[in-house]
Structure 1
Amino acid sequence: MTKQTTIKVLYTSDIHGSVMPINYGTNEKAELGLATYATLVQKKRQENEHMIVLDNGDLIQGTPLMAHYVKNHAEKPNPMIAIMNQIGLDAGVPGNHEFNFGKAILQDAVDQSNYPWLSANIVDEKTGKPYFGSPYIIKTLSNGVKVAITGVTTHYVPNWETPEHIQGIQFADAFTTLKEIVKEIQSNEDYDLLIALYHGGFERDMETGEVTENLTGENQAYEMADKIDGIDILLTGHQHRNVTGTIRDCLVIQPGNNGEAYGEIDVTFRWEEDRWVTATKQANVKTLEGVPADPIILKEMEELEQSTQNWLDEPIGEIQGDMIIRDPFQARVRKHPFIELVQKVQMDASGAAISVTALLGNEATGFPAKITMRDIVTNYKFPNTLVVLSLTGEDIKQALEKSAEYFTLDANGDMTVNPDYLIPKPEHYNYDMWEGIEYSIRVSNPKGSKVESITYRGKPLDMEESYDVVMNNYRASGGGDFDMFKDKPVVKEIQQDMVELISNYIEERGMIEARVTDNFSVEV
């Protein structure tokens, strides 16, 4: 009879600061977060003797709780790391959002971790060595199975991040680095299974190989699985998708976001010629439905959670008129008073006469009559700061043409969202609206010619003239394929994040009038 053994791998990705089983926007209970996942892991450990638990990045940023922690309680242990330590994580990978709070917060998180952070392609620019330590580890389980675990992070981080947050750090090509590391492991290590964690997603359809997004290098998972020999399992993330499949003989998986689901991989080995050989491997994305949160973790989180809730319920000001978003699509087609308020905040903080912003997601609800911090963090969910760029009229025209691609016409000739902004993940935040200029978009016009008019202070925009334009740091770096903004002169940087700027703006005024300046039109 052939000798056999099995191992189980559990992993999370894009937790985004979710600890508590709660939706902070509505304050309703939800089956998600690390407190719930901790219960699941404990149960799985009781059922499985040989188990590995991993995290694939974007761990520490994304909820009001973590925003409040960083602003007001950063001297205390990082709650995300404390819970991962209790769970018994074997290794983690930094995601792009790990850098959002700056190097000090990230370094504290790494220092507090009882597990290694792996990212072979993030290197110290002085030494050329991996910034977070070893590029890989070898984990030997009690059944003798040896698992090589390595990690890389999308090298697109500098296109999004504030420069000072990544000063002294280089981001090498993730695909090239992973290929080199796999060869190094193959040459130097004795192992039975090789797992690669990649904080990045798929650039092609897994079944057909057809390109599904611009090949910028942000996502390279398909190429990794298809062209790097020796990876048994590729754990992905970043795109917030629920995906399982096989590319060549590489098992691939992605388990969504916000701790709503996790990846579970089962591998069976058989004993052949004095070593373990993979017999079967299977991956599933599973939800946390029906799993209770860990009562010990809930107790430990009580003080910080209550402080967060108090902060979220603080009254900030009032709205005179109607600033509720009832239809996010219409809020992009026609000027909405919520968008006008965000533009005013950006212009007030920067002094710029032209502003760019986006409705960040379809879950945005706008502001009710009485505004609290909860309303602000629900509607503005990213820790963006502001940058004023000096742009030519031609730059502005190109950016407007890029935004105009958000719209398309359906089979009936009606205006709808371009599928490119929905698949493989929703990217509504990559459609911008402008303040301080007047413009019109004709959706039926050919790509590159959809913007029919642009004026500034009553006169046609001068294509060669320079204009100061305020936008968030993500867009200013060219994020969302707005390449026309890359490497443009920076006039000013405002280091306060937008949640703080919006709350300060409203608090100072007390009453905000819901107004609309009809400065743009989007027509069929």
Structure 2
Amino acid sequence: MKRFYFFLGWIFFLTGAVLAQDKIVKLKIVETSDIHGNYYPYDFILRHEAAGSLARVYEFVQKERETYKDNLLLLDNGDILQGQPCAYYYNYIDTISLHLAAEVLNYMKYNAGNMGNHDVETGRAVFDRWAGDCNFPILGANIIDTVTGKTHFKPYEVLERDGVKIVVLGMITPAIPVWLSENLWKGLRFDDMEETARKWMKIIREKENPDLVIGIFHAGQDALLMGGKYRENASLEVARNVPGFDIVLMGHDHTRELKKIKNVEGDSVLIMDPASKGGVVANADVTLKLRKGKVVEKHISGVLTEMKNYTANKDFMARFAPQFSDVRDFVSKKIGSFTETISTRPAYFGSSAFIDLIHMLQLEITNAEISLAAPLSYDTEISKGDVFVSDMFNLYKYENMLYTMKLSGKEIKDALEMSYDLWTNQMKSPDDHLLLLREKRREGATDRASFKNFSFNFDSAAGIIYTVDVTKPKGEKVTITSMADGTPFSLDKMYKVALNSYRGNGGGELLTKGSGISQDELKDRILFSTDKDLRYYLMQYIEKKGVIEPHALGQWKFIPEEWVEPAAKRDYEYLFGKVEK
């Protein structure tokens, strides 16, 4: 009996000794993505209070740090340098001060950042300056210097917390050349995400032997091939096909996502996407059990945490009050006046004053014969009366250059055919929708939630007279009757066409897939490019004119009108709630 009790006691001792060696480490991973200049809880464009913002995120993070201390890892997933005027101001106006985006992220103690396509859009002078101002690494494993063959940014960051080694690998969608002028990213190339992930995962495993691997990818989950060679939105493909990731943090598509998937080896990967503008953060909890310094158990879960329940952090607002004041003064400058209120809402149903103003400005600035343009903001307006710098971010949302390109009449028609196919339903009866709409709205994507396709690809034209028959199938909707001055339009003739650099580089694929121009040939079609963004020239134009009289040109319309008019009223109400008088 004594032996039995001695043996039993020895077992308890050994068990206790083993358990005493176990160590539990808890980590909190917080991701922001697609902030688009929303550092403050204030909309400098509409000039009123706004939801979301990094100021609210900081309040949330500080509360979480009370529990997690340094075990909270804060990561940003790109598209932080474009959107609100406070980003534009420190990109192009005040280029001497530390970039506000860097100062804010430093203050909030981010551990790593990632590049987004709209960060590249600001140009190398801007994004390299911003990255240099950050006190933490900006990642970009698939952004390659074409001279050295090495990554332009750090490919991954190693973080150690309580004996746990965490590796964060950052990548961007490689489709940058489809959207942005080469002068903005000259000397760089953007490699395929999956190939890059395989390369670096091998290096990470052999060199770092990590306990936790996080992928932070500025790409969504609905993969597609763009420009015939760029795999866009490949985050899920990487998570599935490249074993080793525990968490994949997505961005770019402005759509909330939270789920777990199995990779090819059967391991679970947590997928998260916090949409945009700091309205939500991706919030992951990681619990690891270590025995003799090695991870023996790993539990990972996540939630999307709403920031509307958090007030803007007072210390944050006080620290960045001077910059807030500078930006507010900038956007409050009057540049002219409009005789009429213009809105993007009518632009979906026919010729409209909003889009036709852009057409007229593009044609006048370039002396082109034809203009192509789309509503870049889903739902916005500029009121009649005094017009301010802030209104220009409503008139033109992105920092696109203005191109003049040579396109044949057939290429113009084919581009419009694809545009209206993305834009309109094929009506089979008067009761059908005029517009091509989603059955369900995309949560967290309120800027384009109702359309099946992105409204910034809904190009209309000016300089030609044409109709769009919505009863016709794809490729047969558009009939061009003449040039705007009544002279003949020819499918065989080459025309000078004004359009933005996004479209001219192949964005939306209207010129590649629609017109049949190869991605490589697009460069040769560019006759002229502005050296500054189109918004800059629009501001100059309006300031010079003083008074602008916006009006619809009436150069195109949907037919048959007896079907279109009642359908347009129904769809307007579906999109916007009520029909304007």
Deviations 1:389-411 (A, max 9, x none): 11111210111011111111578
Distance 1:110 1:316 in 2: 32
Contact kept, 8 Å, 1:336 with 1:516, in 2: the verdict is yes
**SS across alignment from 1:65:** helix
**1:188 and 1:86, CA in 2 relative to 1: closer, same or farther beyond 3 A?**
same
Residue in structure 1 matching 2:534, options 498, 502, 512 = 498
What is residue 191 of structure 2 aligned with on the other side?
172
State the shift of 1:441 in Å.
1.0
What is residue 69 of structure 1 aligned with on the other side?
90
State the shift of 1:59 in Å.
1.4
Distance 2:337 2:549 in 1: 9
State the shift of 1:274 in Å.
4.8
What is residue 397 of structure 2 aligned with on the other side?
381
1:262 aligns with 2:281: yes
1:200 aligns with 2:219: yes
Distance 2:534 2:147 in 1: 33
Distance 2:34 2:82 in 1: 9
State the shift of 1:297 in Å.
2.8
Equivalent residues in 2 for 1:89-168 (5 A)? 89-132=110-153, 134-141=154-161, 143-168=162-187
Residue in structure 1 matching 2:425, options 391, 395, 408 = 408
Residue in structure 2 matching 1:5, options 9, 25, 41 = 25
| Structure 1 residue identity aligned to 2:472 | N
| Structure 1 residue identity aligned to 2:196 | T
**SS across alignment from 2:189:** strand
1:428 aligns with 2:445: no
State the shift of 1:176 in Å.
1.2
Equivalent residues in 2 for 1:61-460 (5 A)? 61-132=82-153, 134-141=154-161, 143-203=162-222, 217-248=231-262, 249-271=268-290, 274-320=293-339, 322-325=340-343, 328=345, 330-405=346-421, 406-409=423-426, 412-419=431-438, 426=448, 427-456=454-483, 457-460=485-488
| Greater CA drift, 407-416 or 149-158 | 407-416
**1:301 and 1:66, CA in 2 relative to 1: closer, same or farther beyond 3 A?**
same
Deviations 1:461-485 (A, max 9, x none): 3222111101111111010122136
**Matched pairs, number:** 513
Distance 1:29 1:418 in 2: 30
After TM superposition, the score normalised by the length of structure 1 is 0.92
Identity among equivalent pairs (%) = 27
Q: Which has the higher helix share?
A: 2
**SS across alignment from 1:480:** helix
Distance 1:506 1:152 in 2: 40
Distance 2:351 2:297 in 1: 58
State the shift of 1:259 in Å.
1.5
Contact kept, 8 Å, 1:421 with 1:428, in 2: the verdict is no
Residue in structure 1 matching 2:77, options 51, 56, 64 = 56
- In terms of Rg, which structure is larger? 2
**SS across alignment from 2:320:** helix
CA RMSD of aligned residues (A): 2.3
**SS across alignment from 2:138:** coil
Distance 1:516 1:96 in 2: 33
Q: Which aligned segments of 4 or more residues in structure 1 are displaced greater than 4 angstroms?
A: 211-216, 420-425
Contact kept, 8 Å, 2:45 with 2:85, in 1: the verdict is no
State the shift of 1:164 in Å.
1.0
Distance 1:72 1:25 in 2: 17
**1:421 and 1:99, CA in 2 relative to 1: closer, same or farther beyond 3 A?**
farther
Deviations 1:240-296 (A, max 9, x none): 111101121111000011112111101111235751144321111112123222333
| Structure 2 residue identity aligned to 1:146 | K
**SS across alignment from 1:384:** coil
State the shift of 1:17 in Å.
1.3
Contact kept, 8 Å, 2:175 with 2:226, in 1: the verdict is no
After TM superposition, the score normalised by the length of structure 2 is 0.84
Contact kept, 8 Å, 1:350 with 1:494, in 2: the verdict is no
**SS across alignment from 1:48:** helix
Contact kept, 8 Å, 1:267 with 1:278, in 2: the verdict is no
State the shift of 1:366 in Å.
3.5
State the shift of 1:434 in Å.
0.7
Deviations 1:68-101 (A, max 9, x none): 2223211000111111111111111111111222
**1:421 and 1:364, CA in 2 relative to 1: closer, same or farther beyond 3 A?**
farther
State the shift of 1:340 in Å.
1.6
Residue in structure 2 matching 1:516, options 530, 540, 552 = 552
Distance 1:219 1:454 in 2: 39
Contact kept, 8 Å, 2:290 with 2:296, in 1: the verdict is yes
State the shift of 1:135 in Å.
1.4
**SS across alignment from 1:217:** strand
**SS across alignment from 1:58:** coil
| Greater CA drift, 213-222 or 169-178 | 213-222
Distance 2:468 2:114 in 1: 42
| Structure 2 residue identity aligned to 1:389 | M
Contact kept, 8 Å, 1:12 with 1:263, in 2: the verdict is yes
Distance 1:471 1:323 in 2: 24
Structure 1 residue runs without a partner (length 5+): 205-210
Structure 2 residue runs without a partner (length 5+): 1-18, 263-267, 449-453, 565-581
Residue in structure 1 matching 2:508, options 480, 484, 498 = 480
Contact kept, 8 Å, 1:319 with 1:370, in 2: the verdict is yes
Residue in structure 2 matching 1:468, options 482, 488, 496 = 496
State the shift of 1:371 in Å.
1.5
**1:80 and 1:240, CA in 2 relative to 1: closer, same or farther beyond 3 A?**
same
